[in-house]
Amino acid sequence: MLIRIAACLCLFIGSQSGRVGLAAETAQETGAIEIGEKAINFELPIVGKDDFIDLQNEYQQGIVVVVVLRGYPGYQCPLCTSQVSALINRARTLKDKVHKVVLVYPGESDELKRHAKKFLGARRIPEPIVLVADPGMKMVQSWGVRWNAPRETAYPATFIVKSNGRVAWKKVSQSHAGRSSVEEIVRQLKKL
């Protein structure tokens, strides 16, 4: 009996490590936009407003930081909430260095606006930060950060786009954690 339990446990652990390996391989194979490449333009709806963000219009006015959140993979991601709170807390510092910080909230089109508004909650997002929805996950797909696994949407990622539209820096996490901190973003902005 003990041998059967041990064998089942080994099979389960093996299957789980295979999943982790598969997720890591998928992340490496996503083909995220590379440093030096032109950022693919998008026009996405601003959450809570009847307006859109057009990336090209924004980066022509100055540096844009694009932060891809996990959106709504069936629940509100607590790590996304923490990351957004940190960005909001440092909005003044960011405003001195960039034209815009675009937070991308991806998900399936059904109910995405409602989930994005719920994610925003009572928080007021200060300039230069704006939260946009990516219904149908077209932006995350075109930027190569779509996480094609059950209950996933996108790999957490950050891109700094210069006023010429080229990616100056990026960080794509292959897990829920490992995402960029505000300090890391500010450090990279100082190098530009």
Token pair for 84: 């957004």
Q: Closest Cα partner for 19 from 175, 178, 179?
A: 175
Residue 33 burial by Cβ neighbours in a 10 Å radius (0-12, 13-18, 19+): buried
How far out from the chain centre does Cα 146 lie? 10
Residue 145 has pLDDT above 90, yes or no: yes
Q: pTM of the prediction?
A: 0.81
Token pair for 102: 């675009």
Mean per-residue pLDDT over the chain, rounded: 82
Contacts of 174 (CB under 8 A, 6+ apart): 23, 24, 27, 28, 155
Q: How far apart are CA 181 and CA 141, in angstroms?
A: 23
Q: How far apart are CA 134 and CA 42, in angstroms?
A: 9
Token pair for 80: 């996304």
Q: What is the CATH number of domain 31-190?
A: 3.40.30.10
Q: Could you tell me if 166 and 39 are in contact, meaning their C-beta atoms sit under 8 angstroms apart?
A: yes
Give 91-104 pLDDT, tens digit per residue.
999 999 999 999 99
Contacts of 80 (CB under 8 A, 6+ apart): 69, 70, 71, 119, 156
| Domains of the chain by residue range | 31-190
Any idea which residue has 């928080």 for tokens?
Answer: 123
Give 36-94 pLDDT, tens digit per residue.
999 999 999 999 899 999 999 999 999 999 999 988 777 777 888 889 889 999 999 99
